[in-house]
Structure 1
């Protein structure tokens, strides 16, 4: 087993910061549970990863670590894979919770019951750790399969762009994290603490996504979406009709534009408009509206008649409720600020 070659204190610091942030994510997921068992699964996943990271630090730098602490860390490792898999399963394919799902945690329960008896030479080095790593990499692989099935299935519950990035980052990032432990012990090609080190930017990226969009933990797709059956031709026709409406009536200029208002203009139910935007255009409804608002703002910023108009006034005229949200979305889509955009094209 290889160990990382960087400064010892730096290794501990990076792994420790990652574990701390993971624990904070666990607390946040628990706080947002609100009768949503998916967030409890996510909380369990982050707690398990926190314990696993702490065990890795102790394993490398504290020779006198009690065996039960080591076993507790391995137990947490065994729980992390099933917890994330079940979260992804019920996130991508919403369904009622079944108590049979608890069978996924049976290996973790058995390890917990044996926490004081399992030894390194008699169990972990004798195939126990190898089995654990294959167990976890299998769950990561199954999670990625779920993601692929969801993307290619026409009957899948629609996801917003933000939710796609969230679940994609969560599954791929964790798969990389699990593989690094696997490649260290099974393949012998990566340092032992590379997993905890790589985990740091991953967990902070997830925290950033939650900071930008707290609704990621409040995903509750309408049951009506699950009953919608539109052919690709019909969906494309509705998308064309929706875009034509926006171009001609410019409903997006209304800062209080809602799905209901757009639905009335199209003579369609609001849930169907939501489905068309999510699946036909691949955006959330707010992102869809703001996309049109940004294009309108760009035209005004470039037009000579608006050369002396304040950017804030242009933002409000284009349907934004605040200058900060306008600046944020403008920079996100154009990779520059509105003022620089105007200066560069003047």
Structure 2
């Protein structure tokens, strides 16, 4: 019995610590919708067990509550990982570049060239573009480009591509050439392959869905 109580209390302490860190760091707050209910269910179950010496008082907790919430939480994390991996996986630590041989002057030059390729040549419209391909186009090692993105542009390759794609999508909506295109048709033109990735990226940047933005834009004309 003591072992079960210790295991339950340990799990609760870990969940509370996780919730505290999410709130403190203001990151991945979407996970609170699942971790908080999960922690509460565990708390109810643990208190009930301590008082009655049994887990049978709230059968729904064992059959549907804790197990169900666990399954939903795991599913949502996996879904988030597939749709927007950079929002789940930690970004590269800039400390890793402290021993880099890339000078600041060269980094600034590479940054300008990278931005030129995006602004003028719109490499992001190629939905299959990779960081390796862009680095080869610039004639620099891949790690240099990654360093420029992480340290000097405070982003990563995929996030930067999607940012440019979202901005280009907005510009295309203003162009008569795309008047008869569907929303996803325009999204494909600017480099988005996945509808879910497109919607997630767009709402994160503009605060509304692409269809809502299009309606607002149409009413403003």
Q: Does 1:211 align with 2:79?
A: yes
Q: Secondary structure at the match of 1:294?
A: helix
Give SS of 2:193's match: coil
Q: Do residues 313 (structure 1) and 189 (structure 2) align?
A: no
What residue ranges of structure 2 are gaps of 5+ in the alignment?
40-68
Give the Cα–Cα distance (whole angstroms) in 1 for the partners of residues 154 and 197 of structure 2. 21
Asked if 1 retains the 8 angstrom alpha-carbon contact of 2:92 and 2:150, the reply is no
Deviation at 1:69, TM superposition (A): 3.6
- 1:272 CA drift (Å): 1.6
1:236 Cα offset (Å): 4.1
> Structure 1 residues 306 and 71, CA, compared in 2 at 3 Å: closer, same or farther?
closer
TM-score normalised per structure 1: 0.40
Contact 2:169 2:186 in 1 (8 A): yes
SS at match of 2:191: coil
Q: What is the CA–CA distance in structure 2 between the aligned matches of 1:220 and 1:299, rounded to whole Å?
A: 29
TM (norm. structure 2) is 0.59
Mapping 1:240-279, distance limit 5 Å: 240-279=112-151
2:125–2:165 contact (8 Å) kept in structure 1:
yes
Task: Identify the structure with bigger relative contact order (alpha carbons < 8 Å, sequence gap 6+).
Answer: 1
Kept in 2: contact 1:302–1:342 (CA 8 A): no
Superposed counterparts of 1:166-185, under 5 Å:
none
Alignment partners' CA distance in 1, 2:186 and 2:3: 63
Quick check: 327-336 or 206-215, which moved more?
Answer: 206-215
Report the counterpart of residue 50 of structure 1 in structure 2. Answer: none
Find the aligned partners of 2:130 and 2:179 in 1 and give their Cα distance. 31
Paired residue for 2:205? 333
Unaligned runs of at least 5 residues, structure 1: 1-65, 85-135, 149-163, 178-200
Q: 1:1-346, aligned counterparts within 5 Å?
A: 66-73=1-8, 76=10, 165=27, 208-213=76-81, 226=97, 227-230=99-102, 234-346=106-218
Q: How many angstroms apart in 2 are the aligned matches of 1:258 and 1:322?
A: 16
CA-to-aligned-CA distance 1:21-62 (integer Å, 9 cap, x gap): xxxxxxxxxxxxxxxxxxxxxxxxxxxxxxxxxxxxxxxxxx
Q: Whose Rg is larger?
A: 1
Aligned mates of 1:206, 1:283 — CA distance in 2: 27
In the aligned structure 2, how far is the partner of 1:221 from the partner of 1:324?
24
Question: For this pair of structures, how many residues does the alignment match?
Answer: 176
**Contact in 1 for aligned 2:102/2:144 (Cα 8 Å):** no
Deviation at 1:221, TM superposition (A): 6.6
In structure 2, the residue corresponding to 1:274 is in which secondary structure?
helix
Q: SS where residue 345 of structure 1 aligns? A: helix
CA contact (8 A) 1:253 1:317 kept: yes
